[in-house]
Structure formats: structure tokens, C-alpha cells
């Protein structure tokens, strides 16, 4: 009976407040060896496939990467020019300029989490400067944010989780909305869109940055379905995420402007508010 009561109290406190993060972090360090052990065979396989690659395939890959890099360099050259111009124009307009964000590559550990929530375990923790609420992206778009941090690992909630909401903007017309995870299958939904909202299938949806947590302008996904049912108060707009939620091995943790790993470590009590 006492244990049932203790569980109920724990659940309530964990759900409502943040006091238990310390307990969770402590216990997480206990389970970390387990998670590492589970991850080890996958790591080994990765390592083996890296080591046992033939010279030929490496050369092919090298050539391909070289070509790709040339392309990207060319694009980046133009981009930095545009960025400089953008900054100049912003200064002319006297508006706050965007400073480049810093990123850190984190590896997704091959550990299955609770099947009902969309979470992943990362191999970077507070020692690497990760903090609560830190945005997580991949090469294609926004993936989620960090919800638990321990010294050596952290757990991230994906944007497709039903408990995750994200302020977004449609690039075509600047329309603002809130994207909420749908949970059942991977996908998002724009909440409370009026029936006459100008949203079309294939519109690109990006973060608006209004939450002060996610940097603005990162792609979230494309509108995959717009259902207008006059019997309902709101239009049903579904968004297919552009990040590869279940196929990534490497993801990027983002520090916004003015936040560095060192700076964040000093103010862990105020996560994600420094943007």
C-alpha cells in the first residue's frame, strides 16, 4: 500500500514540478552502463563496417564527398555573402541581428525508450553543455528538444510527441501557427487553424522563433494534408516532418546566439531562456 502511495506521489510530482530531475539524473547514471551495454553491439557493428570497408568503396565515397563538398562550398559562398548583406540591411533597419548558432554533433544511442512517447537517448550530457529545452536538429529540419539531462547523456522529446508544441510559420505567407505532435504515427498537426486560413498542401513550415527557445527559420516540415470540414471549428492541417526522425544516427544540438557550452553550464537553473 505504501509503495502504491509512493508511486502515485512520485508520478504527480514528476508530472507537475521539476524537483525530481535530480533524482532522475542520479538514477540515470545508474542505468547508463545498461544503456551503454545495449548500445555496444550496434556501435561495434558500426565500427566494423567502418573498418572493413574496401579501399575501392572508400575511394568512391571520397570522390563523391569531394564533389558534394565542392557543390556545398559554392552554395555556401553565396550564402555567406547573403548573410553579410542581410546583417547590413538589418543594421540599417535597426533590428536585432541574428548571430550564427553553434552546434554540437550528438549520437543517438540504440536504446528503445517508452513506446508511447517519442523520445530518444543522446550520448551528450550536461558535461558537454547540453541543457534543458535545448533544440535538436538534423540536416533536414527540427527534431525536438532536450527534456532530461544527466552528466553523460540526455533524453530528447521529438516534435512528433503529442506533448510537444512548436511555434511555426508558413514560409509562403508568414502565417503563424502552433505545430503539435500527433503521436500515433510520426507527423505533426497545426492546431486551431481557422477554416479560411491560407494553407496549401506542400507549403514549407519553419520555426518562427517566437518561443525564444528554437532558433527561427529551421524547416519543420511540409504540409501534407489540409482537410476543411465545415462541421468543425478548425481546419485539420497535417505536416510531414522534414527531419528523419527514426533513421538518424547523428543529430545536432544547437546553442542559440550568445549561448555557449561554457556559459550555459553556469546557469543551469534557467534553461533555454537566454536566446
Partner 1 sequence: MSPPSPRRGTVTIAVSFLVALMLTALPLPHWAEPWRPAWVTLVLAYWVLALPHRVGVGVGWGLGLLLDVLTGALLGQHALSLSLVAFLALRLHQRLRVLSPWEQGVSIFLLVVLDRALSLWVTGIQGMPTEARAIWAPALTSTLLWPWLFVVLRDVRRRYQVS
DSSP-assigned letter for residue 108? B
Reduced to 3 states, what is the DSSP secondary structure of residue 272?
coil
Smallest separation (angstroms) from partner 1 to the CB of 151: 14
Task: Return the HEC string of 168-218.
Answer: EEECCCCCEEEEEECCCCCCEEEEEECCCCCCCCCCEEEECCCCCCCCCCC
Q: Interface with partner 1 includes 169 (CB under 8 A)? A: no
Query: Which region among 113-121, 198-206, 207-215, 258-266 touches partner 1 (by CB under 8 A)?
Result: 113-121
Binder of partner 1 out of 62, 80, 86, 163 (CB under 8 A): 163
Binder of partner 1 out of 35, 134, 160, 208 (CB under 8 A): 35
Measured distance between the N- and C-terminal CA atoms of the chain, rounded to whole angstroms: 46
Q: Interface with partner 1 includes 15 (CB under 8 A)? A: yes
Query: Which region among 7-15, 75-83, 224-232, 263-271 touches partner 1 (by CB under 8 A)?
Result: 7-15
Smallest separation (angstroms) from partner 1 to the CB of 41: 9
Smallest separation (angstroms) from partner 1 to the CB of 149: 12
Per-residue cell: 198: 491560407
Pairing state of beta strands 176-181 and 188-193?
antiparallel
Per-residue cell: 5: 502511495
Helix (H) / strand (E) containing 255: strand 250-255
Smaller CB distance to partner 1: residue 24 or 102?
A: 24
Return d(Cα 85, Cα 234) in angstroms, integer. 40
Cβ contact 264:129 at 8 Å: yes
Alpha-carbon dihedral 63, 69, 71, 74, rounded to 10 degrees: -140
Binder of partner 1 out of 43, 98, 104, 113 (CB under 8 A): 113
Smallest separation (angstroms) from partner 1 to the CB of 64: 29
Q: Interface with partner 1 includes 11 (CB under 8 A)? A: yes
Chain contacts with partner 1 (rule: CB under 8 A): 3-4, 6-11, 13-15, 20, 23-24, 27-28, 30-31, 34-35, 37-38, 42, 110-117, 119, 121, 147-148, 155, 161-163, 183-184, 246
Amino acid at each position: 500500500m505504501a509503495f502504491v502511495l509512493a508511486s502515485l506521489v512520485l508520478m504527480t510530482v514528476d508530472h507537475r514540478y521539476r524537483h525530481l530531475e535530480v533524482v532522475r539524473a542520479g538514477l540515470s547514471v545508474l542505468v547508463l552502463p545498461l544503456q551503454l551495454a545495449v548500445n555496444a553491439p550496434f556501435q561495434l557493428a558500426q565500427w566494423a563496417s567502418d573498418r572493413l570497408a574496401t579501399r575501392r568503396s572508400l575511394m568512391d565515397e571520397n570522390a563523391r564527398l569531394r564533389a558534394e563538398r565542392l557543390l556545398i562550398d559554392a552554395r555556401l559562398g553565396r550564402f555567406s555573402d547573403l548573410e553579410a548583406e542581410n546583417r547590413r540591411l538589418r543594421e540599417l533597419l535597426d533590428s536585432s541581428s541574428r548571430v550564427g548558432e553553434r552546434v554540437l554533433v550528438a549520437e543517438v544511442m540504440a536504446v528503445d525508450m517508452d513506446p508511447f512517447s517519442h523520445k530518444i537517448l543522446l550520448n551528450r550530457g550536461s558535461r558537454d553543455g547540453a541543457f534543458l529545452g535545448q533544440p535538436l536538429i538534423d540536416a533536414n529540419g527540427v527534431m525536438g528538444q532536450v527534456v532530461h539531462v544527466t552528466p553523460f547523456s540526455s533524453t530528447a522529446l521529438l516534435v512528433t510527441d503529442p506533448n510537444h508544441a512548436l511555434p511555426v510559420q508558413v514560409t509562403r505567407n508568414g502565417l503563424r501557427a502552433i505545430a503539435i505532435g500527433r503521436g500515433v504515427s510520426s507527423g505533426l498537426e497545426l492546431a486551431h487553424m481557422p477554416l479560411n486560413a491560407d494553407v496549401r498542401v506542400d507549403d514549407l513550415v519553419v520555426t518562427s522563433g517566437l518561443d525564444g527557445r528554437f532558433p527561427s527559420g529551421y524547416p519543420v516540415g511540409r504540409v501534407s494534408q489540409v482537410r476543411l470540414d465545415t462541421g468543425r471549428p478548425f481546419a485539420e492541417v497535417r505536416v510531414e516532418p522534414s527531419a528523419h526522425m527514426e533513421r538518424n544516427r547523428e543529430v545536432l544540438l544547437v546553442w542559440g546566439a550568445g549561448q555557449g557550452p561554457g556559459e550555459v553550464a553556469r546557469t543551469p537553473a534557467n534553461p533555454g531562456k537566454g536566446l
